[in-house]
Amino acid sequence: MGITKRTSTSLAAGSLTHATLPAEARPRSAWVADEAWTAVSENTAVRMLARDRIGFMQGRLSAPVDGQIQAFPWGNWRTEFLLARVHGFRVMEWTLDADRLRENPLLTLLGQAEVRQLSDDHGLQVGSVTGDFFMQAPFFRATGAGRQARLDDLARVIDACLAMAVPFLVLPLVDDGRVDGPRTADAVVEALTALQARYRGAPFTLLFESDFPPDALAAFVGRFPSTGFGVNLDLGNSAALGHDSVREVELLAPLIRNVHVKDRTRGGPTVPLGAGAADLPASLAALRRVGYTGNLILQTARADDGDHAGVLVRYRDLVCDCMVTA
């Protein structure tokens, strides 16, 4: 390669290379080689930075629990830290279900100590928490003491996130937790604004994942205080709903703090990346244009052959390729 080949010169042997000669003085072959090396180096740097931002949803390195696409992996949650290190993942999004919520390691003192140790041992950061409990048992579907108990559980989760220095909690306003009318929207705004006031100034943000059209979601989040609330963008859900992914990214850009990467068919289920309606290259390019530098969490389809780690690595490589060429 021209970047290292020594030239014939009166200077001390090896003190001058093609790379240090002025461009006009270098042989054309060396010039081209140096340009190629620079391009390769830049792509490698972009890929390394991108790879560190691509995390996985907890449970995706384990077999599905009771046939569910997503659930806390009670029998394997410790092992996933080791598997993540083996396969080069540095970021994970924790999963909290309504079932056994208060027993979850993230919510107990002993569990928190163990999670910290595992994170240190394996270089894996818990960068966000997905609150499936909020969708499975939404407070606004309950009344009286039951409603207050669910809000108290939400406060416990926020306290746990702060104790573990996790900056984002995703609240899925979809499926059983969808906001299905003005009264529900009012209830969510009133309750969460009051709750967030208890944590004002804390390095923590509640992120809404919703089936609203982009304009409506921006208006909904606009009803909350300007700090402490944001958006989790789910590329697969948006595709399933028929949203224009580029316009959605551009419209919600100031609010996007976390991104879920998956693919779904139009109005249908999660499918392997590239097999559904999501335009992954266009979405990632749009995120790059608006300056998004946060995490990309693989919430992807499960492996049909049981090779859960293998399929997750392939998805990560696919996302990396899209980001390098975006």
pLDDT tens per residue, range 8-27? 333 333 333 434 444 444 44
Q: Domains of the chain: which residue ranges?
A: 36-325
What does the pLDDT look like over 141-180, one tens digit per residue?
A: 999 999 999 999 999 999 999 999 999 999 999 999 999 9
Q: How far apart are the first and last CA of the chain?
A: 28
Q: For residue 118, give every residue at least 6 positions away whose Cβ sits within 8 Å of its Cβ, in sequence order, or none.
A: 78, 81, 124
Q: How many residues does the chain have?
A: 326
Q: What pLDDT is attached to residue 2?
A: 38
Residue 296, SS3? strand
pTM: 0.86
**Structural contact between residues 81 and 124, judged by C-beta atoms closer than 8 angstroms:** yes
Determine the Cα–Cα distance for residues 94 and 96; give it in Å rounded to an integer: 7
Q: Which residue has the higher pLDDT, 262 or 21?
A: 262
Q: Which two tokens stand for residue 68?
A: 């569910």
Q: What pLDDT is attached to residue 49?
A: 72
Question: Is residue 183 packed enough to be buried (19+ CB in 10 Å), middle (13-18) or exposed (0-12)?
Answer: exposed
Q: What pLDDT is attached to residue 45?
A: 67
Q: What's the mean pLDDT in 47-56?
A: 85
What does the pLDDT look like over 66-78, one tens digit per residue?
A: 888 999 999 999 9
**Structural contact between residues 286 and 250, judged by C-beta atoms closer than 8 angstroms:** yes
Q: What pLDDT is attached to residue 50?
A: 77
Q: What pLDDT is attached to residue 174?
A: 94
Determine the Cα–Cα distance for residues 206 and 171; give it in Å rounded to an integer: 7
Q: What pLDDT is attached to residue 34?
A: 55
Q: Report the CATH number of the 36-325 domain.
A: 3.20.20.150
38 φ, ψ (degrees, to nearest 5): -60, -45
Q: What pLDDT is attached to residue 35?
A: 54
Percent of the chain's residues with pLDDT above 70: 85
18 φ, ψ (degrees, to nearest 5): -55, -35
Indicate the pLDDT class of residue 42, thresholds 50, 70 and 90: low
Q: What pLDDT is attached to residue 13?
A: 38
Determine the Cα–Cα distance for residues 205 and 266; give it in Å rounded to an integer: 30
